């Protein structure tokens, strides 16, 4: 940081965000999502994708099957192709189109070899897998769709984005459970900084609405069973929290090297200034109780951003609404920020969006940038009963106005994966 408090560095080493796109249960574009977050709306509802009568968990936060019609996007994805793709690939392509449109980014022969794609997912094409397994059992091996093998694999969202829009730079997939979205954006940031691309289409996409996935995640004992009151089920940091509400979605951002963005006259939304990634090396699903892994990721991100803890104005928390995760994240924030932690606003998008699994960090990065652009911090809804172990300022129930200059977003995943990304308001 320079003496005026702004991030310094050569333009060919700095990375900025120029476009954002989302498909989420709270809105199929960034503006609708943002309006619903500020209004404190919950996307949680009873499961409609299949009959969940015999399941212990009957609630989700989904992309409504009766409201989202991929054929409305036939100008982006051919109707025949759309029907073939898993929804996680559909969402990635549509969110990318939104982000590229905002960025006014044209990919052509002059730049396509220097623009890459890094789109993560926690689970890949579960719907395609589910359909293929049904075909195998009901009709035999020769009736399995010949595209199943390609479309079920996690990297195919990025592959489909490249096929649709034409970038030929680095293209691979990050899979790190619920840290995936933040890891993808962080690694794309590093790809640009090391000189392997001038721009990256990055983020994550997820679809988990299958009976098998619901059963599997419920068996981890991490999901809410507040079936009688879905909209109050996700309650991060609240003493009566009983687990997360899972859902579908995608978030995409366009990252660009600053000199490339300036050269083409892009409208810059924010600057990415830091990224940290660690692992707990502790347990397949539970975090280290003292938040040690999260703490180290946050500290590393701050160090790479060359900022002090007290320069952070807002944290978009991982905030899953699970007993262990919320307590560990709170402990990590208090350890890193000390007394300043109690003056630092923290809120959880998952209180309204639910947990979008691998896509969560990517959508939350979009929300964090939007926070800086709009000067408002969305609330943590359903915060009713204080928990002595979670005693920070979680912006309970009502949005708050603030000029946020530097913000971070945390993501933590099964397997002990931790990722933290830091953004700075663009000062021109």
pLDDT at 386: 97
Task: At 336, give phi and psi (nearest 5°).
Answer: -75, -40
Q: Give the tens place of pLDDT for each residue, 113-150.
A: 999 999 999 999 999 999 898 999 999 999 998 888 98
123 and 236 share one domain? yes
Q: Is residue 268 situated within a structural domain?
A: no
Mean pLDDT of the chain: 95
CATH number of the domain bearing residue 56: 3.40.47.10
My answer on whether 259 and 314 are in the same domain is: no
Residues 322 and 199 in one domain: no
Q: Is residue 26 located within the same domain as residue 113?
A: yes
Whether residues 251 and 333 fall in one domain: no
Domain boundary among 220, 240, 263: 263
Number of structural domains found in the chain: 2
178 is catalytic: yes
For position 12, what pLDDT does the model report? 80
49, 97, 355, 417: which one is catalytic? Answer: 355
Q: Is residue 6 part of a domain?
A: no
Distance of CA 135 to the CA centre of its chain: 32
**DSSP 8-state symbol, 390:** B
Mean pLDDT of all residues in 12-18? 94
What is the token pair recorded at 177?
A: 């459970």
Does residue 397 fall inside a structural domain? Answer: yes
Q: Give the model's confidence band at 108: pLDDT under 50 very low, under 70 low, under 90 confident, else very high.
A: very high
On whether both 316 and 388 belong to a single domain, the answer is yes
147-156, 174-183, 336-345: least confident range = 147-156
Q: C-alpha distances in angstroms, 225 versus 40, 41, 64, 233, 382? A: 21, 20, 20, 8, 15
Q: Is 3 within a domain? A: no
Give residue 83's pLDDT band: very low, low, confident or very high (50, 70, 90).
Answer: confident
Residues 396 and 375 in one domain: yes
Identify the three-state secondary structure at position 363: helix
- Greatest alpha-carbon span in the chain: 69
Q: Is 355 a catalytic residue?
A: yes
Please report the pLDDT score of residue 4 as a whole number.
40
239 assigned to some structural domain: yes
Say if CB 291 and CB 335 are below 8 A apart.
yes
Q: Is 413 found in the same domain as 289?
A: yes
Same domain, yes or no, for 121 and 68? yes
Domain that holds residue 81: 15-263
- Of the residues 60, 173, 178, 390, which is catalytic? 178
Would you state the pLDDT for residue 3?
A: 45
Beta-carbon contacts of residue 228 (< 8 Å; ≥ 6 apart) = none
Give, as one character, the DSSP assignment of residue 6: P
**pLDDT tens digit string along 34-58?**
999 999 999 999 999 899 999 999 9
- Whether residue 1 is predicted with pLDDT greater than 60 in this model: the reply is no
Over residues 367-372, the mean pLDDT reads 98
Domain boundary among 222, 239, 263: 263
Total residue count of the chain as it appears in this document: 428
C-beta neighbour count of 308 within 10 angstroms: 11
Q: Is 83 within the bounds of a domain?
A: yes
Same structural domain, 150 and 244:
yes
pLDDT for the residue numbered 67: 77
Tokens 């996409």 correspond to 205
In a domain, 403, yes or no: yes
**Which residue in the list 7, 97, 318, 378 is annotated as catalytic?**
318
Q: Residues 129, 218: one domain?
A: yes
Q: What is the pLDDT of residue 121?
A: 98
Choosing from 196, 231, 263, the residue where a domain stops is: 263
What is the average per-residue pLDDT within 88-95? 97
**Known catalytic residue at 417:** no
* Domain co-membership, 418 together with 302: yes
SS3 of residue 20 by DSSP: strand
- Classify residue 7: in a domain, yes or no: no
């Amino acid at each position: 940081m320079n003496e005026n408090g702004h991030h310094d560095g050569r333009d060919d080493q700095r990375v900025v965000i120029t476009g954002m796109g989302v498909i989420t249960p709270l809105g199929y574009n960034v503006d609708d999502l943002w309006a619903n977050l500020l209004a404190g709306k919950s996307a949680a509802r009873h499961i409609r994708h299949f009959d969940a009568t015999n399941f212990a968990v009957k609630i989700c936060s989904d992309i409504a099957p009766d409201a989202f019609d991929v054929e409305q996007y036939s100008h982006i994805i051919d109707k025949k192709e759309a029907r073939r793709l898993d929804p996680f690939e559909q969402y990635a392509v549509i969110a990318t189109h939104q982000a590229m449109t905002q960025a006014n980014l044209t990919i052509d022969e002059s730049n396509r070899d220097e623009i890459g794609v890094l789109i993560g997912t926690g689970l890949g094409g579960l719907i395609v897998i589910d359909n293929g397994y049904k075909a195998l059992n009901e009709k035999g091996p020769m009736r399995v769709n010949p595209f199943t093998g390609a479309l079920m694999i996690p990297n195919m969202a990025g592959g489909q984005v490249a096929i649709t829009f034409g970038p030929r730079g680095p293209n691979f997939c990050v899979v790190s459970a619920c840290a995936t979205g933040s890891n993808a954006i962080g690694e794309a940031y590093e790809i640009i900084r090391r000189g392997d691309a001038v721009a990256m289409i990055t983020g994550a996409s997820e679809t988990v609405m299958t009976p098998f996935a619901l059963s599997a995640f419920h068996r981890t004992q991490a999901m809410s069973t507040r079936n009688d009151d879905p909209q109050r089920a996700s309650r991060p940091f609240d003493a009566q929290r009983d687990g997360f509400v899972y859902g579908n979605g995608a978030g995409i951002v366009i990252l660009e090297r600053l000199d490339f963005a300036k050269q083409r006259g892009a409208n810059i939304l924010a600057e990415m200034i830091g990224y940290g990634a660690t692992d707990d090396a502790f347990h397949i699903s539970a975090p280290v109780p003292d938040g040690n892994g999260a703490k180290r990721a946050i500290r590393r991100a701050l160090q790479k951003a060359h900022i002090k803890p007290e320069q952070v104005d807002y944290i978009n928390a991982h905030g899953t609404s699970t007993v262990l995760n919320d307590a560990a994240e709170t402990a990590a924030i208090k350890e890193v920020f000390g007394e300043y932690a109690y003056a630092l606003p923290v809120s959880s998008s998952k209180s309204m969006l639910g947990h979008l699994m691998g896509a969560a960090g990517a959508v939350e990065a979009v929300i964090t940038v939007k926070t800086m652009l709009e000067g408002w911090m969305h609330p943590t809804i359903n915060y009713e009963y204080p928990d002595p172990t979670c005693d920070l300022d979680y912006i309970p129930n009502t949005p708050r106005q603030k000029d946020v200059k530097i913000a971070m977003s945390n993501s933590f995943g099964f397997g002990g994966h931790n990722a933290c990304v830091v953004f700075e308001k663009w000062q021109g």
